[in-house]
Amino acid sequence: MKMKMDRPFVSPWNFKQLHRSPRIYLSDVTAANGIRSMFYEGLPYKGKETRIFAYYGVPEAAEGERLPAVVLVHGGGGTAFEEWVQLWMKRGYAAIAMDLEGNVPDQSEGGMKRIRHTMPGPAREGIFLDCDEPVGEQWMYHAAAACILAHSFMRTIPAVDQDRIGITGISWGGIVTSLVAGLDSRFAFAVPVYGCGFLYEAHNQWGERFVEMGEASAESVKRQTEPSAYFSRVTMPTLWVNWLYDPHFGMNIFSKSYRHAKNGIEQSGLCIYPQLGHSHPLGWKPDEIYAFADSIVRGGIRLLRLGDPVEHDGTVYVVYDSAVGNEPVLAELLFTRNCDNWQQCEWITVDCTLDRAGRRVHIRLPLDAKAYFINVRDSRGLTASTPVVVR
């Protein structure tokens, strides 16, 4: 009998090229509060050179101190957000936020507009509408490359510690972040918000689009640019953040993404809010994001760690691992009676029993629960979630 050989890792990206810091070009876009603007060189698009606009900032550091850093990936309708960079700088991180669609942000008349610049790469149109283009001409290919190049640039800043750079993204940016987590093992942590992989299994426009594009194109996307193709290669701690009623990313594909990207990494976690909303400001709001990053690269108190739910004689229990400063104070079961369509689930919340002596939480499962998970809140008000279990 022939031994089954592992398939060699093949991807369309040239990592030797992407791991070199890109060329930097001046920008006349004004920025405040110690933040700078620039363009950096992207990958060629349709035979032409491209530029990527970005804001970046480095907070003041003590002499000889090296800082952690983060790459910030916007979602649909977004751009490079100066506010997002500033938020992380106030927490002691260097940060870079880039525009992934060939735009420059414009706040000259109040509000936020996007103006297309003169050397753009591809713009994102719909859901993989460019799937029949050569992969090197597709938006997802360029978006992932732009993130890796931004990482390579941040590694050249003298005040930045190369080993303490993370990435986080919102919605479409969460999709890109979960993809890049499997491509660029140099990152210290990743935090996808809303967005995830296994989009072809979604009960909404994502799944519909994969049917619409046809079997051959769908298989090509799944193999080359869909995040789940690379989850087995994720090596850094990852925190997945979402909420129960997100209109785009259901609990089935979100929880599955967490499971498949965990790869035995004990620091990786899941945080599912009962209520949150879907936007850029709401997506960068959860305190769990910053506590998680601090725990990985600044020696901060870690989030609660939860085991998988275990059912026995009609009861479900979950063991937890806490440390000084993150003791559990509340546990809840969230369940649904119908998960035929994950975008239309109604979730019900019931308090669990918190057994501190046994370091676990438990509850008798409702007989009609079709799917469920458990949330545990710690003494800082931070939430840790188990994966979703389908019965």
Kindly report, as residue ranges, where domains of CATH 3.40.50.1820 are found in the chain: 15-300
pLDDT at res. 285:
97
pLDDT at 1 over 80: no
Token readout for 171 is 């919605």
Q: Decide if pLDDT at 373 tops 50.
A: yes
Backbone dihedral region of 149: left (phi > 0), alpha (psi from -120 to 50 degrees) or beta?
alpha
Please list the residue range(s) of the chain that carry CATH number 2.60.40.
306-390
Four-way CATH pick for 15-300: 3.40.50.1820, 3.40.50.20, 3.30.70.260, 3.40.190.10: 3.40.50.1820
- The CA distance from 328 to 377, in Å, is 6
pLDDT tens digits, one per residue of 261-277: 999 999 999 999 999 99
**Residue 368 in 3-state DSSP?**
coil
Given a cut of 80, is residue 110 above it in pLDDT?
Answer: no
pLDDT tens for each residue of 50-96: 999 999 999 998 778 899 999 999 999 999 999 999 999 999 999 99
Q: pTM (2 decimals)?
A: 0.95
Third-level CATH fold of 306-390: Immunoglobulin-like (2.60.40)
Residue 216 is predicted with a pLDDT of: 97
- 28-37, 150-159, 256-265, 329-338: the lowest-pLDDT one: 28-37
Centroid of chain to Cα 52: 21
Let me know: does 338 contact 345? Beta carbons within 8 Å: yes
Q: 109 falls in which pLDDT band (50, 70, 90)?
A: low
Query: Is pLDDT above 70 for 2?
Result: no
Is residue 301 over pLDDT 80?
A: yes
Dist. CA 35–CA 18, nearest whole Å: 24
User: What does the mean pLDDT of the chain come to?
Assistant: 95
pLDDT above 90: residue 10: no
Alpha-carbon gap, residue 56 to 81, rounded angstroms:
10
| pLDDT value, residue 3 | 36
Residue pair 149/55 in contact by the 8 Å Cβ criterion: no
